[in-house]
Amino acid sequence: MDIAAGNGRGTKMAGNAPNADILFVEIAANDIENSVEATTRQSFGDSVQMLEAVKFIFDQAGDRPCVVNVSLGTNGGPHDGTTLVDQGLDALVRAKPNRAVVIAASNSYADGIHAAGTVAAGGTLDLGWRTEIGKFGRELEVWLPGASQVAVELLGPDGTSLGTAEPGTNLPLADGDELAVFVSNRVKEPNNGDNTISIYVAGGVPGGDWTVRLHHRKGPAVSFHAWIEREDRDQSHFTGSLDNSHTIGSISCAHEVIAVGSYDAHKAKKPLSYFSSAGPTRDGRRKPEISAPGHEVVAARSRSGKGTTMMSGTSMAAPAVTGLVALLLAEARRRGLQLTSNQLRSALIKSARLNPPKHAAGSGTHVMGSGGHTLMR
Amino acid sequence: MHQTPSSSPLGKAAAGAYDFTMDLSKLRKVESPSPRRAAGEVRGMVTGMVKVNKAGYRPKGVKVRGEISDLIFTAEIPVGELEALENDPGVASVAFSRPLQSQQSKRK
């Protein structure tokens, strides 16, 4: 918040929009009934609360220009802007002009959480999944076109086949009287018509190199994308060569939001941070739209003893862009302009510096998402 | 749960061992939840989002938490109502909440 709109009295450096009115919403887990374990054991809430928080802020703003900063994310999901939380964010932004939602792109670039490939007609394809013995359980999702017919077989670390889930079926696996593994092979998602394979390995199940074997059943060859859900205390990852594309957080893939990556402003060439998640989205849109300093950034922090902290992450980059959007919106209001989110996005990107300069539009999308647009603060 | 699969092969869960109250093969309008949630036994109430086909329509049996747009709202949904939502032609899709995490990488 300090980076976006701090007054500088604590850090000696004001945020980008120090005169902006600030509204902070804390997303607590305790108003959710029957929350799953993953929600209740951490304090960053869930997609429903986040959507309600954005709505609350826009409602409070009324007809005033308003930009919302969101530094939350998840690796799972279709990454195509079709989920209801994506649609909800888009609807909120489109409801009035001079609105924006800025979201941190995520910090999973180097975590090995994405894989993609093509299962040949009549063939199989193996995904290696390395896990440790963890307390919290691991989650993996594979997204495939709706017309595809692909079965999934799970092999344990010792190579034993634990079973196969055909399209449209579930495979629950138990160790004694406890659920150990759950595989779901679902067809025809309601929002995009795609198929989804999801695998959950419960906490306490032995770690090692698992194999997710995709069996083509019929029709043409099938391309897919797969993601491993984030678990900072026990991050599992794909084995083999890294595919760092498409590592952008799922909720950053909504059409109307501005996704922000991180670069290292301490270095002369301003390289992207090693952790800054990359686009594009699964439906081929270029994200993140822009990057900002997010590497070892000093910002205000209460209860730190000295009033500041130094942290890295796209969470430190996004509020820099949020502050700039606030300035843009203030100027738009002064001029009586009614900006759509696309106009705002265009203005932001036009004001950014391309880094490296030789990147032409369309190149470097793997890493930069949007042709290498980098914001210089 | 603490033996390797080779010494204790995982067995297929016995019928009735788990109450898959949200069997997604039957709930075609429900967006795929997180694998953890798909695996879990869920009873009582779930928190989620509902999209309807007609502006302003709000199906009976769910408690509206917040209005997001004419077509989308957040809600508390009794698990027992999921089948009714599945069969409601006014309902386009349903999504359960997904946990979110901070995008702060590390402190120095």
Give yes or no for A16 touching B (CB within 8 A).
no
Is residue B91 included in any domain, yes or no? yes
Structure tokens at A141: 């999702």
What is the tens place of the pLDDT at every residue in A257-274? Answer: 999 999 999 999 889 999
pLDDT tier for residue A369 given thresholds of 50, 70 and 90: very low
Show which of residues 59-78 on chain B sit within 8 Å of chain A, judged by CB atoms: 65-69, 71-72, 74, 76
* Domain extent for B66: 42-96
The set of residues, in sequence order, having a beta carbon less than 8 Å from that of A78 and lying 6+ positions away, is A143, A189, A191, A192, A194, A196, A250, A253, A282
What is the tens place of the pLDDT at every residue in B67-78? Answer: 999 999 999 999
Is residue B27 included in any domain, yes or no? no
Burial class (CB in 10 A: 0-12, 13-18, 19+), A100: buried
Give yes or no for A30 touching B (CB within 8 A).
no
Per-residue pLDDT of chain B (108 residues; tens, 9 = 90+): 333 344 445 666 654 455 554 576 778 899 988 888 888 766 788 899 999 999 999 999 999 999 999 999 999 999 889 999 999 999 999 999 988 888 776 544
Provide the CA B24 distance to its chain's centre, in angstroms: 9
In this predicted structure, what is the pLDDT of residue A367? Answer: 41
Q: Which of A228, A234, A139 is nearest to A182 (CA)?
A: A139
This model's pTM is above 0.80? yes
Our count of domains for chain B comes to 1
Strand order from edge to edge, sheet including A114-119: A114-119, A222-228, A138-144, A195-201, A178-186, A169-175, B11-12
Give domain limits for chain A: 2-109+247-374, 114-238
Distance (Å) from the C-alpha of residue A14 to the closest C-alpha of chain B? 20
Q: What mean pLDDT do residues A299-321 have?
A: 89
Q: Which amino acid is at A205?
A: V
In this predicted structure, what is the pLDDT of residue A39? Answer: 45
Is residue B7 included in any domain, yes or no? no
In this predicted structure, what is the pLDDT of residue A361? Answer: 42
The count of CB pairs under 8 A between chains A and B is 255
Is residue B71 included in any domain, yes or no? yes
What is the tens place of the pLDDT at every residue in A142-163? Answer: 999 999 999 999 999 999 999 9
Contact, B62 vs B85, CB < 8 A? yes
List the single residue in A188, A205, A312 with the smallest CB-CB distance to B105: A312
What is the tens place of the pLDDT at every residue in A97-143? Answer: 999 999 999 999 999 999 999 999 999 999 999 998 777 889 999 99
Q: Which amino acid is at A2?
A: D
Is the pLDDT at A339 greater than 90? The verdict is yes
Q: In a mutagenesis test of the A interface, which of B6, B21, B32 is the best target, namely the one with the most A β-carbons within 10 Å?
A: B32
Rounded CA separation A153/A161 (Å): 7
Architecture of domain A2-109+247-374: 3-Layer(aba) Sandwich (3.40)
In this predicted structure, what is the pLDDT of residue B25? Answer: 72
Q: Provide the CATH number for the domain formed by A114-238 in this structure.
A: 2.60.120.1290
CB contact under 8 A, A88 and B68: yes
